[in-house]
């Protein structure tokens, strides 16, 4: 069964410093992995996704994540934080069970709240 752990419920960084949001997952098959962002009073928006192509995935707004199978991790990084990055971030995992399965359960992590200090 799949599961997702986001290791920090809250992260605070200064503007212009690097961002690291940690995500570990468990999966029985070949996982798809996503990061979604939720700005205050908004719906969720895709940041990036991994689906077994390149292990380093680039997303919007300068974010990227690296899939490390040996560590079962998919940490989200950004070299330099901006005030507009303050939001809730969700790591999401889904198993691709192969042909014949048209639905794959999508599991959300509990979220990490990112604060950016001026």
Partner 1 sequence: EAQVTQNPRYLITVTGKKLTVTCSQNMNHEYMSWYRQDPGLGLRQIYYSMNVEVTDKGDVPEGYKVSRKEKRNFPLILESPSPNQTSLYFCASSFLPAGANVLTFGAGSRLTVL
Binding site residues, partner 1, CB under 8 A: 9, 32, 34, 36, 41-46, 49, 51, 90, 94-96, 101-106, 108-111
For partner 1, which is the closer residue by CB, 77 or 113? 113
Extract the tokens encoding 74: 């998919």
Rounded to a whole number of angstroms, the minimum distance from the CB of residue 60 to partner 1 is 12
Rounded to a whole number of angstroms, the minimum distance from the CB of residue 44 to partner 1 is 4
Distance CA(15)–CA(49), nearest Å, equals 25
Rounded to a whole number of angstroms, the minimum distance from the CB of residue 7 to partner 1 is 14
Could you please report the per-residue DSSP string of 100-112? T-----EEE---E
Residues 104, 52, 76, 42, CA torsion sign: negative
């Amino acid at each position: 069964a799949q599961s997702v752990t986001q290791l920090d419920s809250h992260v605070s960084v200064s503007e212009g410093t690097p961002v690291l949001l940690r995500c570990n997952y468990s999966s029985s098959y070949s996982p798809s992995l996503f990061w979604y962002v939720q700005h205050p009073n908004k719906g969720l928006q895709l940041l990036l996704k991994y689906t077994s192509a390149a292990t380093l995935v680039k997303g919007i707004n300068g974010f990227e994540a690296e899939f490390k199978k040996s560590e079962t991790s998919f940490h989200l990084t950004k070299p330099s934080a901006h005030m507009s990055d303050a939001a809730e971030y969700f790591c999401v995992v889904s198993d691709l069970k192969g042909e014949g399965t048209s639905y794959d359960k999508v599991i959300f992590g509990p979220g990490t709240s990112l604060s950016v200090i001026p």
